[in-house]
Structure 1
Amino acid sequence: MTLPALALTFFLALAPLLLAQGQMFHGPVTPWVHQEAGKCKLPSNWDPKLRFDPWRSNYALNEVVQLSCAGGFAPSVLQIQCISRETQILWNETATCKEKCQKPQWDSRFIFDQEQGIFNPNEVVKIQCPEGYWPPHMEIKCVTLKPREGSMIPRSGWIVRNGTSAWHPMERNLTCVDVLQVDHETLEVSSTSIKLNWTCRLPRMCPLIWARCRLEHHSSLNCKAEEVKVEEKLQGKEGTFTCSPLQPFTVYSVTISLLPSTILYTRLIMTKEIVPDKPEKLWVDSSTGSLRWKALPSCKGKIIGYQLNITTMRAEDGSFLEFSQVLVNQSVSEYVPPHHTAGSKYLVTVQGLTAAGAGAASQLEFQTYVMVSGQPVGPWPGSAVTVVVVVLLLIPLSAGIIWFMLFRKKKALPSKAEEDQYT
């Protein structure tokens, strides 16, 4: 046998042995991976930061291995599996370690749906600004970016998209922008109107801004409030929104929105108080001697009390005797004067009080004539009226009698003179 023939025979005999002992394959999915007796060998040419669990030099067919990375890195896949593909035994994936993404240090007003400091590669995070700020809800994704100029090391970073739009790189740090600014220092609230000054900070959004004012509720449950709904489109970049006519001491909501449904500003505002109406049904209770009136509802302002002005005068000529002013709280609807003077006349006014001041006054005038110990003061009794009538009748009768007597005496004087003349 010649030497070439011997070499060919030796190679043919050795080939099965080499296959049995294992050899290196280069599959379409993995790099060169050593196969030995139907097992997958621990990869030695993958990313050195990779950690395998469990860690062994060989892994059985179909065995699954969990992956992790050292430091601030994360594996490109969380696990790999030893599989059989045609005549090859190999790993189903090729793993690398990717740098994790730090939580973005952007505007502190951003709200993240996941509150953590580090995010894994390909992890998607939802962020949003507080209500009334732009932009609306967004998604950001942790990815591996191209190396910086002059560097060969890949770096992690974020890409962003709005809603269903395509992902795109971030050109700069994101910030929350106040679309509409309301000047709270110049807010004007009266008893009948609300006025607020506004400024639109994003010109392309200004034509889509609407303001609305509507009744929420009256501050007092016993009072009725008329429905009010004022709505208008804000014009230009700044201006004043006015809501009127309104009722005093009533709560209204002012809302400014960006179409279709983003609320930029909302606030409940209560209109100012005014003085109340005058109390009704002011009268004197003859059984107790007390002054009574009907309590006022808090429709124009919260009733905080009542003011009574009491003027005492002489009944005969109306000359001034005394003045007193009394304040009682809002739960009181009667007042007993400390004393009455017989034969005096009283002028009483009662006013409701709110934070805005005293309202219109109810007025009552009454007179006392007699004072019986232990009994309330009242108007003239029936016997006193009878005496007055008798006196009034006797006055003209007495005058007639006196006139008649004087007339007779006057006629008698001339007769006596004549008698003296003839004697």
Structure 2
Amino acid sequence: MLSPARGLHASMALPALALTFFLALASPLLARGQKRHGSENPRAYQEAGKCEAPSDWDPKLQFTPRKSNYALNEVVQLSCAGEFVPSVRQIQCISRGAQMQWNETATCKEKCQKPQWDSRFIFDQEQGTFNPNEVVKMWCPEGYWPPPMEIKCVTLKPREGSTIPRSGWIVRNGTDTWHVMEGNLTCVDVLQVVPETLKVSSTSIKLNWTCMLPHMCQHIRARCQLEQHFSPNCEAEEVKVEEILQGQEGIFTCSALQPFTVYAVTISLLPSTVLYTRLIRTKEMVPDKPEKLWLDHSTGSLRWKALPSCKGEIIGYQLNITTMRAEDGSFLEFSQVLVNQSVSEYMPPHQTAGSKYLVTVQGLTAAGAGAASQLEFQTYILVSGQPLGPWPGSAVTVVVVVVLLIPLSAGIIWFVLFRKKKKALPSKAEEDQYTELQPYENVHGDNYCKIETFLEKDEGKYGQAGEPFPKLLPVQESQQ
């Protein structure tokens, strides 16, 4: 029979033994539990200072290089099979305390297909698929709504009744916030300008417009302003016409414009959405008259200053040359000459002494001939090897003196001859004895006079009666 003391000792030893056994059993179980818990963390693997290749990540992930474990600080490139992309491009084996683990956890995400919206949309990137978080700019053609916008490829929540994530697009206009675009986007024609109604003259532009969205029609502005002149040598006044369009249709007019000038016509939805824009060139007009038309005495050629293409493209010059007699201005000849736009001089042919010339020069555009510059000059002599030119000062002086002397000399000669004739005239009785000169018809084409003498007229009077013959007067042949 046990004593009370020994019974008490036995009863105390039994729980101590049980506690010792429990602690011995708990240590390996705890260690095993810690190892299992570590294997469930995809970011941490530890095997002799290396990171093991993840086996429980997205099966579509592909590792480059492909190994079972990776050294400390080693970088691995990631990719995905099919139309998927990795959430991160690379991962690295790092050390955190006593553990070796990957710095990131990766997965494969589905790419976004190019939106199959209105075919009129224009994208800044023309490709079939887009990566997650990639931003793409898109816009409609000019004159269509909506204005330019941005779309972004994102991973959306699974559809109702599904657990699979999906890719899609979110949209924003300008500085607006992003919102999911579930439906279809289309380009809407806000304003129409019928090309056939566009009327352009040399000084105005008119177009007919129609607003297709009534709720936007009160905020449409039309503007016309100078863009550029066709020729850089021409100055154009700044023109800026603005008008807020009223109603749903009407006519917009730009007036007081310059010919052959480019203007920008723009119709916008305020504040800055362009609905219609076009560069329009006004039509041509006839040009101004050429300047500085003159005769080059050294060459005998006509010269003028070339015209700039301010009112129209200069396609040539037209010269009208009228030849007249210098003494009385009577008409002799007319000729017209056309030269191309690169020519600014002309040598008049067949100049003759004693003639004067009236020359006009006109510029030509598609609209016709412009105002004419005029020059009149006179030729006086032709010297071999030298061109004809106008009368010099010395020649003019000589001509004036000669012109004055001719009538004076003629008067003196007439006076002397008149005095001699008066003294030599015979009496009335003697006049019948003089030779009579009468014109005779020029049958054979010769110019001559018929001479009838007193011998033929009074043959019997003087010869038979023995009268003396009168003295004959000298007869001079007249050259006609």
Q: Residue type matched to 2:138 in 1? A: Q
TM-score normalised to structure 2 length: 0.65
Please say if 1:386 is aligned against 2:398: no
Please say if 1:144 is aligned against 2:159: no
Aligned residues of 1:273 and 1:356 also touching (Cα < 8 A): yes
Please say if 1:246 is aligned against 2:261: no
Aligned residues of 1:305 and 1:354 also touching (Cα < 8 A): yes
Cα distance between partner residues in 2 of 1:57 and 1:283:
98
Cα distance between partner residues in 2 of 1:348 and 1:386:
30
Cα distance between partner residues in 1 of 2:71 and 2:324:
118
**Structure 2: stretches of 5+ with no match in the other structure:** 1-9, 430-480
Q: Secondary structure at the match of 2:224?
A: strand
1:417 match:
none
Cα distance between partner residues in 2 of 1:336 and 1:57:
97
Cα distance between partner residues in 1 of 2:96 and 2:291:
100
Q: Residue type matched to 2:150 in 1? A: M
Question: How far did 1:403 drift?
Answer: 7.3
Deviations 1:139-186 (A, max 9, x none): 32322343377x665533223333454443323233344544444454
Cα distance between partner residues in 2 of 1:67 and 1:334:
79
2:283 match:
272
Question: How far did 1:364 drift?
Answer: 3.6
TM-score normalised to structure 1 length: 0.72
2:224 match:
213
Aligned residues of 2:363 and 2:370 also touching (Cα < 8 A): yes
- What pairs up with 1:226-245 in 2 under 5 angstroms? 226-245=237-256
Deviates more, 1:266-275 or 1:76-85: 76-85
Cα distance between partner residues in 1 of 2:167 and 2:347:
85
Provide closer, same or farther for how the CA distance between residues 15 and 216 of structure 1 changes in structure 2, counting only shifts above 3 A.
Answer: same
Please say if 1:327 is aligned against 2:342: no
1:352 match:
363
Aligned residues of 2:43 and 2:103 also touching (Cα < 8 A): no
Q: Residue type matched to 1:146 in 2? A: P
Deviations 1:251-280 (A, max 9, x none): 333333333334444444332221122234
Cα distance between partner residues in 2 of 1:346 and 1:62:
101
Cα distance between partner residues in 2 of 1:32 and 1:344:
113
Please say if 1:299 is aligned against 2:310: yes
Q: Which one of the candidate residues 110, 113, 120 is aligned to 1:102? A: 113
Question: How far did 1:312 drift?
Answer: 2.6
Cα distance between partner residues in 1 of 2:274 and 2:221:
10
Aligned residues of 1:24 and 1:32 also touching (Cα < 8 A): no
Q: Secondary structure at the match of 1:269?
A: strand
Cα distance between partner residues in 2 of 1:394 and 1:65:
126
Pairwise CA RMSD of aligned residues?
A: 4.9
Cα distance between partner residues in 2 of 1:202 and 1:264:
12
Cα distance between partner residues in 2 of 1:289 and 1:41:
102
Q: Which one of the candidate residues 161, 168, 185 is aligned to 2:172? A: 161
Q: Residue type matched to 1:310 in 2? A: I
2:436 match:
none
Please say if 1:17 is aligned against 2:17: no
Q: Residue type matched to 2:406 in 1? A: V
Deviates more, 1:269-278 or 1:199-208: 199-208
Q: Secondary structure at the match of 2:171?
A: strand
Cα distance between partner residues in 2 of 1:63 and 1:96:
19
Question: How far did 1:353 drift?
Answer: 1.7
Q: Secondary structure at the match of 2:198?
A: strand
Provide closer, same or farther for how the CA distance between residues 343 and 52 of structure 1 changes in structure 2, counting only shifts above 3 A.
Answer: closer
Deviations 1:337-379 (A, max 9, x none): 2222233343322212223221122334444455444452434
Q: Secondary structure at the match of 2:402?
A: helix
2:472 match:
none
Cα distance between partner residues in 2 of 1:262 and 1:317:
74
Aligned residues of 2:354 and 2:378 also touching (Cα < 8 A): yes
**Structure 1: stretches of 5+ with no match in the other structure:** 415-423
What's the % identity of the aligned pairs? 68
Deviations 1:279-304 (A, max 9, x none): 34444445543334444343322333
Aligned residues: 406
Question: How far did 1:187 drift?
Answer: 3.2
Question: How far did 1:193 drift?
Answer: 1.5
Bigger share in strand: 1
1:362 match:
373
Q: Residue type matched to 1:104 in 2? A: P
1:289 match:
300
2:205 match:
194
Aligned residues of 2:290 and 2:361 also touching (Cα < 8 A): yes
Cα distance between partner residues in 2 of 1:90 and 1:291:
96
Provide closer, same or farther for how the CA distance between residues 37 and 275 of structure 1 changes in structure 2, counting only shifts above 3 A.
Answer: closer
Provide closer, same or farther for how the CA distance between residues 269 and 53 of structure 1 changes in structure 2, counting only shifts above 3 A.
Answer: closer
Question: How far did 1:192 drift?
Answer: 0.9
Cα distance between partner residues in 1 of 2:82 and 2:376:
95
